[in-house]
Structure 1
Amino acid sequence: PGHSLRTFTGSTAVMSIDFHPSKDDLICSCDNKEIRYWSIEKGCLVGVYKGGVTLVRFQPGLGKLLAAAANNQILILDAETLRCKFKLQGHKSPVHSLCWHSSGDYLASVSDDMVKIWAVGSDSSGVCVQVLKAHGTDEKFKTCVFHPIFHVVIIGCNESLMLWNFMDRQKMTVPAHEDLVSALAVSDVTELVASVSLDKQFKIWK
């Protein structure tokens, strides 16, 4: 980016942000626990949701749903009205990562000791279909992404990546970094995965 197109003001400190997949809109969560919905074209605030939210992610495709982490639960909101459709519960500690499957039918949520896969498509009211629990104090989950083709969730852990086939319930751990893997990204075009870590390195995986 060479220059700023718009500046949005009126929020407290912003903790998370995401673009709508099919509209010229974006949404952010703030440290006062509000969700604020903005129109990029008009440069104005469209809506506010107050619900103790720290992380927001739009459903891929049409963007009809919005997943929002609020402590140890996930709120599934109507993206147009910001009304809560249902809640996903079961984590025992705060949720610090959310990622959607590209189909928009599945959502993965990550806390320190647990990864859960939820069916949250248009015909579902939020059913947990798989759970992966950490083993021992050395295994800590931080972040995750879905592989763009396979039924595999890639999980960023302490010094490693875990590849979890949530259909076959098989997993494999790959040594990756010298510290906690703090974030992951995946390319739907190249199928490459990028990992970053507190060890000051980022790596590309295939």
Structure 2
Amino acid sequence: MQEEEKTNLPNLKEICNAKYQNPKFVYDGKRMRVLTVRRTLDYASAYVYRKYFKKPMPICIDSTSFLGLQPDPAKKYSNESQILYMKEPLFCEPKEAITSEFAHISINKIKCPINVVKYTPDGRRLMSGTSTGEFTLWNAFSFNFETILQAHESPVRSLCWSPSGKFLVSGDSLGIMKFWHPSMLNLLKIDAHNEPVRDISFSSSDSKFCTASDDGTIKIWDSKESKEEGQLKGHGWDVRVAQWHPEYSLIASGGKDNLVKLWDPRVKKELNTLHIHRNTILALQWSKDGKYLLSGGKDQVVKKFDLRAFEEIFSYKNHKKEVTAICLHPNIDSLFVSASSEGGLYFWEMFDENPLKIVNQAHDNTIWGLDFHPLGHVLASGSIDNSVRFWVRERPNKIIESKIKSIEDKERIPGLNIFE
């Protein structure tokens, strides 16, 4: 009897190989699924490892060289040890914090273009706004789908968290604006504009925010009373972007009239107009210290404007097509990334007109949404190609191997081999 019972036990090998069989012939009332290991990107484990176990990082060359703060290339490390030996994102140099390595792609079950992506303030989830009016929440560590919510009746065009993270504001193509609790409970619905709400930006506190719309206006709102305080009119066409200064009562806006305008929201008046672009402006971002304004658009150039000297000081011209999005690194003031309509990602250092890194064909179509994880070690991008893609920093061994290969490809000069 014991031998018969043993023979009736399921064979582990058969279960593991079930995926290679036709389910019509092996189906017995239960769906057999093979266990898979889901890739997880959790920076906390590496931080705890470095913080409390005090493991030294094996440095092979001084930190001023391009191999500084990287593991010894003569040694081979597993993928886990590479991550543990990587420098904390909070203390990286711009060249060390570039998130150019593809990590994962997430696609909704019902495929639709992604218009905007935003991390939650705690960094645990990524929200994507789709052209079907849905919010999709993705796990920020394992990238898997968590939940989906029919938030709007038309395409979601803009998302913005309040500085305190207590509520979220969204806008759609019908001009509807909604307030959301972090638990995704809808708090309020307002008919804000007659045309799509293209951009939303908060002041340094939760008290005020502004919205930009294709109806040619920028509206100032009081968050506590949920009422409109005034309108800023002056653009001759659609207003595509509007960004509130991180410290001052100052708003920068841009649109189809090719102009960047500066406004004082207290008196509801235009302060100045900048003629620095030759085509529609699609992206604006203030630097963290508020000294510089980055702008990009259909003229395929990102401009850097110095607010103190009140002049353009840098132009970043390596884009193949129009610039559709700009995102600053949350912890490194001088690092930012731009996206273009051909699907490329461009990483820049603010005081260098040459790109640090270019990721060609990061997406198959126009990238409309970019957002860094609050720690800065992951970049999320959303595109018309129906996908959200996650990008991480290159692993140390990969960086070193690429550098060694580039050196070996050049003609060797005696006495100049840094590895001798």
Query: Taking structure 1 as the reference length, what is the TM-score of the superposition?
Result: 0.86
Greater relative CO, 1 or 2 (CA 8 Å, sep 6+):
2
Following TM superposition, by how much is the alpha carbon of 1:152 offset from its aligned partner in structure 2, in angstroms?
2.5
TM superposition score normalised by structure 2: 0.44
1:69 aligns with 2:254: yes
Q: Aligned ranges for residues 141-160 of structure 1 at < 5 Å?
A: 141-148=323-330, 149-157=332-340, 158-160=342-344
Aligned to 1:119: 306
Q: 1:192 to 1:104 in 2, by over 3 A?
A: farther
More helix by percentage: 2
Is the Cα contact below 8 Å between 1:63 and 1:79 reproduced in 2?
no
Measure how far apart 1:42 and its partner are.
1.6
Distance 1:118 1:34, change over 3 A: same
Shift of 1:69: 0.7
Deviations 1:82-133 (Å, cap 9, x if unpaired)? 322222212110101111111111111011221101112xxx2632110122
Alignment CA distance shift 1:164-1:2 (3 Å): closer
Q: 2:343 touches 2:363 (CA, 8 Å); kept in 1?
A: yes
Do the aligned partners of residues 92 and 20 (structure 1) sit closer, same or farther apart at CA in structure 2, a change above 3 Å counting? same
Q: Which runs of 5+ in 2 are unaligned?
A: 1-182, 393-420
Q: Deviations over 1:163-191 (max 9, x none)?
A: 12231322121131122222211234344
Change (3 A) 1:82 1:139: same
Matched, 1:166 2:166: no
Q: Is the 8 A contact 1:88 1:126 kept in 2?
A: no
Q: Which structure's CA Rg is the greater one?
A: 2
Runs of 4+ in 1 over 6 A off after TM superposition: none
SS at match of 1:6: strand
- How many pairs are equivalent? 200
C-alpha distance in 2 between matches for 1:69 and 1:188: 26
The 1-side partners of 2:201 and 2:250 are apart by 13
Distance 2:315 2:384 in 1: 26
3-state SS in 2 of match to 1:159: coil
Equivalences for residues 25-104 of structure 1 within 5 A? 25-52=208-235, 53-60=239-246, 62-70=247-255, 71-104=257-290
Tell me, which stretches of 5 or more residues in structure 1 are unaligned? none
SS of alignment partner, residue 188 of structure 2: coil
CA displacement at 1:31 relative to structure 2: 2.6
**Is this contact kept in 2: 1:67–1:77, CA < 8 A?**
yes
Does structure 1 retain, via aligned residues, the 8 Å contact 2:260–2:276?
no
Distance 1:15 1:139 in 2: 21
CA deviations over 1:5-40 (Å, ceiling 9, x no partner): 223235312332222221422211233211111112
Conserved? CA contact 1:147–1:191, under 8 Å? no
Select the structure that is richer in strand: 1
Give the residue type in structure 1 aligned to 2:187: L
Counterpart residue type for residue 128 of structure 1:
E
Partner-residue secondary structure (3-state), 2:314: strand
Post-superposition shift, 1:150? 4.8
Counting aligned pairs with the same residue, the percent is 22
